[in-house]
Every structure is written in structure tokens, then in C-alpha cells.
Amino acid sequence: MRSALSYPWREPPAAGRAIEIAEGVLWARLPLPFRPDHLNVYVLDEGDGWTVVDTGLDTPVLREAWAALLGGPLAGKPVRRVILTHHHPDHVGLAGWFQAAGAELWATRTAWLMARMLTLDVQPRPTPETLAFWRGAGMDAGLFAARAEARPFNFADVVAPLPLGYRRMVQGEEIAAGGRRWRVEIGHGHAPEQATLWGVGHELVLAGDQILPGITPNLGVHATEPDADPVGEWIASCSRLLPLATEGQLALPGHRLPFRGVPARLAEFIAHEETALERLTAHLATPRRASDCFGVLFGRRIGSAEYGLALAEAVGHLNHLTRTGGAVRREGADGAWAWQARRNGA
Ligand SMILES: [Zn+2]
């Protein structure tokens, strides 16, 4: 599909620098140690301090990056508020660090609960539920054996402790930030209850990972909720947000570059999922495990670093077919699920 997106800035801000997107709205970029290798943060001028939108991981490199920003373009003024778009570690990682230094945290209830729950859920080995999920999804036997005996990724490894207490953001409320009004619009699919902020009387949209240019956000299922349908929630959210989108809006996404063309991008997301589900249905003419569906879903080889996310996303798409009646799931003797397309009328 032809993309109708345009990018007013060809280059992101350099390390330690910020670009003024509009009066009172700064854009800075932080490095991440995994793909996509960066996070965009937006810093809103509150006069005697700042509101920051998303924070990056809690690592020494990221703390130094923030120190450079605070001492440089942010002119030593304090961060008084963190607005969190969603609970993923690259976004929430340093929220508790800012809170410990006096900032308030604003988030949706689910984002806050997920982040706080996951920071407290430290496991030395994968839980039995996680192992069952990996087995169900048909994880490669060699990877399964290695990961079952290794310390898993723990959210708290890269997310600072979140103190008790936050300010909830709810669907449709208007909030003030950076001398402007914004309406909270909540989306689902990539993360439950992801907040996006849509300009009221202006055309900026703080889009988080709900509306990214160039990459489609991961729509993953995890052991927490093995039968979840993030793909269905994602399509529903894109459809709900589409009538709010206009050509003039400038989207400020969590990754890649700010862009115009929000209506086209939301339509692309929906079309992308529809064609992916069609390819997947055709692939399920014979029974397949989730790990058998990487080629048809991603069109490339999946390395071990991205294997877990790929598996989560494959289950996401298969669950959607199960939910909507397009496929049936059976469990094999080895505990792995196999999905098969349902023939018309079957
Ligand atoms: Zn995310």
C-alpha cells in the first residue's frame, strides 16, 4: 500500500539535545539496547518545571542521558510530572526514579497496575505457567531447554521500583500540559489501556506506541493471559481512533520520527492485520504450531533475541482466529497447541 505519511524532521535530535516541536513541546531521544534502538520522549514546559512523556529504561546509560538533558536543554528545571503512555519497560523504566525525586506519575489504571505488579514479580527461573505457555506455543526445543534453566528477563531488571500512588487518566478526560489542552484517548492491543493525548485547539498528538510510523507495534500474548486477543483489540482501537484523525495532525510517536498522515497510518494498520490474518488462515490448511507461523507472519528469519516476542505475536494472531471462529486449537500429546483453519460450515 502507498504510504501517505510525511516527516517534517528528517533527523532525530542528537544525544543530549532537544528539538522544539512547537512552543513548550520538546522532543528528545534516548538510546535503547534492543530494537528499535531508541525511544522518543517529549518534554512539556510547565514554567517552573517539566512534564515528561515516557522515560526510557532504568539503566546507567539512560540515567546519564537524562542527566545530560536536564543539565542541558532542560536548563536545570525539575521534572514535576511523568505522563506514561503504557507500561512497557522502555516507557516506564525511570518513572519511579523521577517520582523518587518529587515528580507525580500520571497513567491509566491498567498501565500503572501492570507496571507495579511486574516490578514486584521477580523470578529466578521461569514459572510453571510460563513454561506451559512456551510449550503450548511450540517453542523451539533447544531454546526451551536453555530458557527453562536460566534466569528469565525480569521487568525489575530495567524498571526502577514504583512507589505507591499515581494519578489516573481516564478515557475522554481533558488534561493540561505544556500550556495546552489534551484529550485522553485510550487504545488497546500493543498494551492494555495505552494512553494517547490528542490536542484540543491544536494539532499535536502524543501517540505513544499506539500509532507508530514505519513499524507495526508488537501485538503479543504472554503467560499472564494466554487466551488474550490483542489483535482483535488492536483492530478495534485503530477503527475507533480513525474518525478522530485528521491530515493536519502531527503525531509524536514513541519510536521513529514525528509524522503527519495519522488517518492513512491507522487505515494501514487495519489493512496490514487483515492481510496477515488471510495469509495465516491459508497457512493453517494443515495444523500448525505458533512457532510454525513465523515465516508467514514476519517474512524473515527470527533470531533468538527476538524469538520470544515473535512467539508472543504469533499466538496473538492465532488466538484472534480462534476467537473469531476462523480456526480451532487442539493440544498435542507434547503440550503444544496446533491450530487449523475451520472450513466453511465445519
Ligand atoms: Zn510498547
Q: Is a pLDDT exceeding 70 seen at residue 3?
A: no
Span from the CA of 263 to the centroid of ligand 1 (angstroms): 21
Considering only CA atoms, which of 192, 268, 267, 195 is closest in space to residue 230?
192
Alpha-carbon gap, residue 291 to 134, rounded angstroms = 10
Span from the CA of 345 to the centroid of ligand 1 (angstroms): 38
Span from the CA of 331 to the centroid of ligand 1 (angstroms): 30
Q: What is the pLDDT of residue 337?
A: 98
Span from the CA of 285 to the centroid of ligand 1 (angstroms): 32
- Read off the pTM: 0.96
Span from the CA of 89 to the centroid of ligand 1 (angstroms): 8
pLDDT digits (tens, 9 = 90+) for 23-44: 999 999 999 998 889 999 999 9
Considering only CA atoms, which of 156, 246, 164, 150 is closest in space to residue 205?
246
If you average pLDDT over residues 107-122, what whole number do you get? 98
pLDDT digits (tens, 9 = 90+) for 278-319: 999 999 999 999 999 999 999 999 999 899 999 999 999 999
Span from the CA of 4 to the centroid of ligand 1 (angstroms): 24
Span from the CA of 191 to the centroid of ligand 1 (angstroms): 7
| Bridge pairing between strands 19-22 and 204-208 | unpaired
Span from the CA of 1 to the centroid of ligand 1 (angstroms): 24
Span from the CA of 328 to the centroid of ligand 1 (angstroms): 29
pLDDT digits (tens, 9 = 90+) for 147-191: 999 999 999 999 999 999 999 999 999 999 999 999 999 999 999
Q: Is a pLDDT exceeding 70 seen at residue 2?
A: no
Span from the CA of 284 to the centroid of ligand 1 (angstroms): 29
Q: Is a pLDDT exceeding 70 seen at residue 137?
A: yes
- Looking at domain 19-125+153-284, its CATH class is alpha beta
Span from the CA of 141 to the centroid of ligand 1 (angstroms): 28
Span from the CA of 73 to the centroid of ligand 1 (angstroms): 26
Span from the CA of 330 to the centroid of ligand 1 (angstroms): 31
pLDDT digits (tens, 9 = 90+) for 50-87: 999 999 999 999 999 999 999 999 999 999 999 999 99
Q: Is a pLDDT exceeding 60 seen at residue 219?
A: yes
Q: What is the pLDDT of residue 345?
A: 47
Span from the CA of 104 to the centroid of ligand 1 (angstroms): 21
Which cell numbers in the block locate residue 116?
Answer: 507495579
Span from the CA of 251 to the centroid of ligand 1 (angstroms): 16
Span from the CA of 158 to the centroid of ligand 1 (angstroms): 14
Average pLDDT, the chain: 96
Q: What is the pLDDT of residue 47?
A: 97
Q: What is the pLDDT of residue 327?
A: 98
Give me the percent of the chain exceeding a pLDDT of 90. 95
Q: What is the pLDDT of residue 1?
A: 45
Span from the CA of 85 to the centroid of ligand 1 (angstroms): 9
pLDDT digits (tens, 9 = 90+) for 227-240: 999 999 999 999 99
Q: What is the pLDDT of residue 343?
A: 78
Domain ranges of the chain: 19-125+153-284
Alpha-carbon gap, residue 144 to 336, rounded angstroms = 12
Span from the CA of 318 to the centroid of ligand 1 (angstroms): 21
